A and B are shown apart, each in its own frame.
Chain A
Amino acid sequence: MEKKPQIPFSPDPTAAGLPASQSHEMQSAGMSSAASFASGAAHEPVDARAPLVLGNETFASITDTVARPIESKTPLAWYICFAISLGMLSLLGVSIAWLFWEGIGVWGNNSPVYWAWDITNFVFWVGIGHAGTLISAVLFLFRQKWRTSVNRFAEAMTIFAVMCALIFPGIHVGRVWTAYWLLPLPNQMDAWPNFRSPLLWDVFAVSTYGTVSLLFWYTGLIPDLATLRDRAKSTIARVAYGIFALGWRGSNRHWLNYEKAYQILAGISTPLVLSVHTIVSFDFATSQLPGWHTTVFPPYFVAGAIFSGFAMVINLMIIARWVFKLENIVTMRHFENMAKIILLTGSLVGYAYAMEFFIAWYSGNPYESFAFINRATGPYAWAYWTMVSCNVISPQLFWFKKIRTNLWALFIISIFVNIGMWFERFVIIVTSLHRDFLPSSWAYFTPTVWDVTTFIGSWGLFFTMFCLFVRFLPMVAIAEVKSVMPEADPHHGTGGDHAQGTH
């Protein structure tokens, strides 16, 4: 407390611009309400919570911490990771090239399992992509300040996951060279897509989601890109960051427009969190296949997507936090919060599983009952029980604070959740298809090596993008994190000392 509270001088325009913009942000983005300012710290329930940034971090040190991995010499470990990721990515390239050359037959898909790993992977990746937007947009609108240190990361994950996801519907069609016919392009044949098909809704939903997520992410990046531009030592970096920073100078007007744009995009993104996976679930729910034709699918899919998305964020964040020494910014509180969301959504998913069985029995539809009994006891029972143990049982451990705050436990359970969620999609798609109405057409699906390499390859794309991301972009939203620090409070050090529990 000896240190005089001050706005530290920094060449960082973000920081420099803070006092002015911050006051604005207080009103527009609403870091806390005007009422709470007036009523004083003692009655402020939110700000009385544990601090979001630990250690004696200052605005400058935050900037330094986040910018260090970008500005310092590239470590050998990064090259190794990047090489491995790139290797996996080339596997994707080879797999897709072979697929295009030979046909869908290189996969294990058969009749009646016309969709298998292709669509499983698609739904899996789209699901992963959900956490990003949820953290960025929904938590933003709900004033969940803790989101600031993880949102950039989660959003990046979203973008990359959606990229991975978009591969699959594109390549899984029999005639890829005509895949663009899915788009409503005017043509001389006057042939339009079939607007009744959920697959078409998918095209709109996922592409909208991808676009908005990208815009949202990029908008949030602009102030930080300007920071990097101004700190850049090489011309190339300065020009490159400069181009993408769009001339950001941190003026009041810039902050005003930025905050407005950010909030509008958050507003647009929020319904998309619900709509994307709802529409993805329509692919199944609106068909008439037993096991697909289920009204619970939209909420169940959304819950499942958030579930898997948060698990993925935890996995990636634990690694990044350790590698890039972000312990002060990404704290145990963040992990705990995310674990709680996993617990909630995991329980929702478990409820949905139980409800599917209940309805299968309650509906009196023999095909439906058979489909679910077959899931639990048929040839794919192993997949079903893998799914249940990973998705329903493992997250229940998060009831215990000790487990929620143990990074190893978090890491392992999150991996289980991701495995479980991949299997959930596999179970829904393959076990429903492999035994439907007429027993004469029943069959068993076995993947080929190309199914596996394509899936591994999609991880290659994901990791490659991540490697580039952590190397070239700030993985924590510098400006936003600063805004939740006590220094950001205009009253900081002037008596309104309400958020400095650890000082």
Chain B
Amino acid sequence: MTSFEEYTMTNGQQDKTYWRSLEQLADAPAFQEKLKAEFPLGANELELKAGPSRRTFLGIIGASMALAGVTSGCIRKPREKILPYTRRPEDLVEGVAQQYASVLRVGASALGVLVTSHQNRPTKIEGNPLHPMSLGGTSAWAQAMVLDLYDPDRSQSPLQSRKEAGWQSLEAQLAELASSIKGSQGSGTALLVENASSPVLNGLITEFQKVAPQAKVYVDDAGSRHAQSTALAALGLSSSQVVLEIDKAEVILSLDSDFLGTEGDVVRNTKLFAQGRKLDTPEATLTRLYSVEPHFSLTGVNADNRLLLRAGEVGDFASALFDELAAKGVRTGDKGGAPNVTGRPWAKWMSAVAADLAANRGRSLIVAGDKQPAWVHGLVVALNEALGNTGTTVRYVPDAEAPAFAGGIDELAQALNSGGVKTLVMLGGNPAYTAPADLAFSQAIGKAAVSVHLSYLVDETSTLATWHIPRSHELEAWGDLRASDGTVAIRQPLIAPLFESRSEIEILARLIGKEPARGYELTKNHWQAKIARPDFDRVWNRWLNDGVAGDVVRPNTSTVAFNFAGQAALYKNAQTFAEPTLESLELRFPYSTTLYDGRFANNAWLIELPDTVTKLSWDNAALVAPKTAEKLKLESMDLVSVEVEGRTLEIPVWVTPGVAENVLVIPQGWGRTFEGRVAAGYGFNANLLRSARSPYMLSGAKVSKGKGQYVLATTQDHGRMEGRSIVREATFAEYRKEPTFVEKGELIDRSQQKTLLWRRPYEFENGQQWGMTIDLNSCTGCNACSVACTAENNVSVVGKERVLKGREMHWIRIDRYFTGSVDDPQAVVQPVACVHCENAPCEQVCPVGATVHSPEGLNDMAYNRCIGTRYCANNCPYKVRRFNYFAFAKENDESNPLYAMQKNPNVTVRFRGVIEKCSYCVHRINDARIEAKKAGTGIVPDGRIVPACAQACPADAIVFGDVRNPESRVSQLKATPRNYVLLGELATQPRTSFLAKVRNPNPELV
């Protein structure tokens, strides 16, 4: 279609010379046209044009029939030309994917990534092992961000008062703004940024503040960790960030924190936490995680001891713990007036934890949750300091170059309402949706005469702003990110913007009047000035190659000077949350584990991804404990009206074990109202109930039963194991006493599980034999594998109606079971994909031999041979086979022509009517095998093949390799006593085995 242009990484002077192969395709008028129309080809013609004539109507119908014929393949395919490169770019071998290092802001973390690019299309995101926030792992969010690049609803041109305006008029407006800001020294100007994690942006903000000293700069983002930074500032550590060194901790106490799921550097935290959960050798020890929380977070799912406590009481717990430790002589700072709490039912639990912490000074860690108020964070800082954890298990990393902010969203709303803001510039974010309802931010925006909003989608804020500017995706724009530990990485784009757009630094540079205002120069010049080395080009290239700016000196964190007197100021404004009752419930607003604060709402992979605990897909709900639901006479899916402080929200309830009594948990991020074709109409907006005063919890909520029910789609109806030994679990003490405890779960003796009636097609005695282990002890249930698999294997999204019918297509799913009592349960998670049985039940029954065994032990699917009897799926005891009930892949591509660009060319896109399932990433196996053959040995070295799930896993729970080679890591893990196969009594002889879960509860609390 177009000649491919060469790119040069260092050649930044030419306009847009990076990865531009697809740009012309994207710019082609026909293509642009197609993208703009949700229903291409004539569908618009039918839309309410004053009475379309019968002739037109028939014409369109006729044409669509003819087109239907075309698309269903009744005629020959149109001719397409494929042209070779006239000059092949260096290192580019067609058909061989390339990887580029970059860094993405994922949640609250700066995640170093390696992005896979197929023929210059970014298709997959992997973790960068060199980056300390990734260490090679990723999260579900990071995996899904590549799909955002191809979002069908991404904005394609600037808007002025919701009407399309050209780039020229926007540039004129920006120039005008720049000169007026300069002229007025920024008086009446407010700038809102998402976070202070980009040094380039921070530098520009500082410059902006110099140009416009009267202007106010505000920061607001779900990941800005407001409570924590407030607490640190009060204790004398302004502009500091907390880095958890979890691998150094033996005992961890989480106070309503979800450091493994949604808060902070989750990938890094999971990596380090998982290290303490490995039991690969007999003498290995196990860390202990205590979690105090009002509902199951991922952290609570993985806790050894979990205390179910409403969010409003967690502060009391921290205060009581402070006293308890102080009584043991472990004390630094003071409580700053926090109440003395005695006689609570959890007192015994708390003192057992205190004793454990005190016994592990310097090897313990207390983490306060982002949803807890600042004074709790302050107490936790003091507790960690008293326990000698500062500098070992927890580090406070200052950022000397962080700009000074005038406040957050509350202060901005106040400024707007007081009429002090004439010009409002919002670089990203979506405050009209995310701001708590009591700020009435949507109305406040209107108070500014000019409001400019840079955003990726035309979202709730864009439609209110006077100007909307399309924002470049993180994979399209130059920039940088500073991780919480001070590591800087350069964000290098993988592709030129698919549609003309700007990044936040480019807009801010224009407002300052800085030239040239292109991302590449801004970024490179910033660092060139900082590093000031003659060979900077070489340094720069190394940074880009490594994905880490290794020459940037990280701040020294060895000495920290606290000012604990600040604690009193923190506590002064503390709110108390009365004990909730049925008439006055406590509300809790966590971030959605899939959509976060709503930014991923238009991401089809994430909106369909079931939450690990609730297993809800395509909606959120008010989570309520079974006991509370019973008392309120509520059942799952009953619509209720929740009222708090005069604000109401109608939402269905979902009865969820593990929620504190008289508490209603409403995840944020749902119920978006903008015109996103994925997001619109799903879920309920928790922000309508939230208050800026206490953004994450409120008391005094009333619930009244509404009319009827709202149907929620779940991927797992049944949460109990029915006494079957599916997830095998023991305590650490039991494991030590009897390392082979898993064998007790066998229905028939393991030796008999090998007895077969028939001969197997292969005896698997030759070559390399592939197998996998999944360590249930380190798996946190984070869903990264599931999304990674979706991205790697072109797995289709099916939509809510189909999920309701149980037709979701995930090749690897996270099964979640509750154990223990309904009122205070434990949860276990288990990733299940095809286990590649050596004696596969599916293979026996397929009448056409579409699923057969490979000599290397894979259970292969021949999609072309499959006729879709579904017999294999019936006979699969693991129910991992997925059927294409409709032409899902085709529907996906038709609903968004851009999605096709994300597809992995090495994996067949499945058509309607065939079964699909996990292939162990057979294309990656073949790739490695070809490489080994070329190398002459023919033997693939251990660790060379990493399936997508294993690569994404931040806990390194999934290990793949040659089970015939006793030296391979997978063989060694299979030889450990915790190894067991699922449903082994069926003699399926799976190649995937599980390593049983071992919890390490405090013996005093058992």
A residues within 8 Å of B by Cβ?
102-105, 108-115, 172-176, 178-179, 181-182, 191-194, 196-200, 203, 283, 286-289, 365-367, 370, 433, 435-444
Contacts and interface: CB of A to CB of B under 8 A. Distances in A.
Given A194-B847, A199-B871, A287-B841, 11 more contacts: A111-B873, A112-B873, A112-B874, A174-B915, A178-B867, A192-B849, A197-B845, A197-B846, A287-B874, A436-B877, A440-B817
Residue in B723, B747, B848, B871 with the greatest tally of chain A CB atoms within 10 Å: B848
A181 B866 CA distance: 9
A112 B846 contact: no
8 contacts: A105-B805, A111-B806, A111-B807, A111-B808, A114-B883, A199-B845, A438-B724, A439-B721
B88 to A, nearest CB: 37
Interface string B713-725: 0001111111110
Contact of B807 (A110, A192, A196, A199): A110
Q: Please list the 3 inter-chain residue pairs (A to B) with the smallest Cβ-Cβ separation, ordered nearest first.
A: A174-B868, A174-B913, A105-B885
B849 A191 contact: yes
A70 B517 CA distance: 93
A174 B867 contact: yes
A193 B882 CA distance: 22
A283 B869 CA distance: 12
B185 to A, nearest CB: 62
B301 to A, nearest CB: 15
B878 interface: yes
Interface in B463-477: none
A174 B884 contact: yes
A182 B879 contact: no
Contacts of B881: 111
A114 B817 contact: no
Given A288-B841, A288-B875, A437-B878, A104 B983 contact: no
A437 B849 contact: no
Given A103-B886, A182-B867, A288-B875, A173 B841 contact: no
Interface string B853-893: 00000000000011111110111011101111111000000
Interface string B833-845: 0000000010111
Contacts of A194: 843-844, 846-849
A111 B832 contact: no
The main secondary structure of chain B at its interface with chain A is loop
A173 B846 CA distance: 12
A174 B986 contact: no
B879 A112 contact: yes
B886 A197 contact: no
B344 interface: no
A438 B832 contact: yes
B849 A193 contact: yes
A438 B986 CA distance: 13
B815 interface: yes
Given A366-B747, A439-B817, A105 B870 contact: no
Interface in B895-950: 911-915
A438 B887 contact: no
A440 B815 contact: yes
A182 B747 CA distance: 37
A104 B868 CA distance: 9
Contact of B865 (A109, A181, A283, A366): A181
Contact of A439 (B724, B845, B873, B884): B724
Interface string B960-995: 000000000000000000000011001000000000
Contacts of A287: 841, 845, 871, 874-875
A111 B876 CA distance: 11
Nearest to A367: B724
B726 interface: yes
Contacts of A199: 845-847, 869, 871
A451 B209 CA distance: 68
A113 B873 CA distance: 9
Contacts of B845: 196-199, 286-287
B210 interface: no
A114 B870 contact: yes
A114 B806 CA distance: 10
Contact of A437 (B885, B912, B915, B983): B983
A436 B847 CA distance: 22
A102 B718 contact: no
B736 interface: no
B802 interface: yes
A179 B721 CA distance: 38
B913 A442 contact: no
Contact of A181 (B719, B867, B873): B867
Contacts of B886: 102-103, 105
Contact of B883 (A104, A179, A181): A104
Interface in B196-212: none
B132 to A, nearest CB: 35
A109 B915 CA distance: 14
B877 A110 contact: no
B874 A174 contact: no
Given A104-B883, A105-B807, A111-B807, A203 B847 contact: yes
A440 B912 CA distance: 25
Contacts of B867: 173-175, 178-179, 181-182
B847 A289 contact: no
Given A105-B885, A193-B847, A443-B806, A111 B879 contact: yes
B865 A191 contact: yes
Contacts of B869: 172-174, 199
Contact of B716 (A102, A110, A203, A440): A440
A369 to B, nearest CB: 11
Interface string B361-404: 00000000000000000000000000000000000000000000
A194 B843 CA distance: 9
B729 to A, nearest CB: 16
A439 B718 contact: yes
A481 B865 CA distance: 52
Contacts of A439: 718-722, 724, 726, 817
A102 B841 CA distance: 29
A435 to B, nearest CB: 8
A199 B873 CA distance: 14
A191 B865 CA distance: 9
B914 A444 contact: no
Contact of B723 (A198, A366, A442): A366
Nearest to B914: A174
Contacts of A178: 867
Nearest to B848: A181
Contacts of B887: 103
B724 A197 contact: no
B878 A438 contact: yes
B178 to A, nearest CB: 55
B722 A433 contact: no
A198 B878 CA distance: 21
A365 B985 CA distance: 10
A440 B718 contact: yes
Nearest to A178: B867
A441 B871 CA distance: 16
Nearest to A203: B847
Contacts of A366: 723-724, 747
Contacts of B721: 439
Residue in B724, B830, B846, B849 with the greatest tally of chain A CB atoms within 10 Å: B849
Given A437-B983, A439-B724, A114 B866 contact: no
Nearest to A432: B874
A279 to B, nearest CB: 13
B875 A440 contact: no
A110 B882 CA distance: 10
Contact of B870 (A174, A191, A438): A174
B847 A197 contact: yes
Contact of A103 (B816, B875, B879, B912): B912
A281 to B, nearest CB: 14
A170 B378 CA distance: 70
A105 B868 CA distance: 12
A72 to B, nearest CB: 47
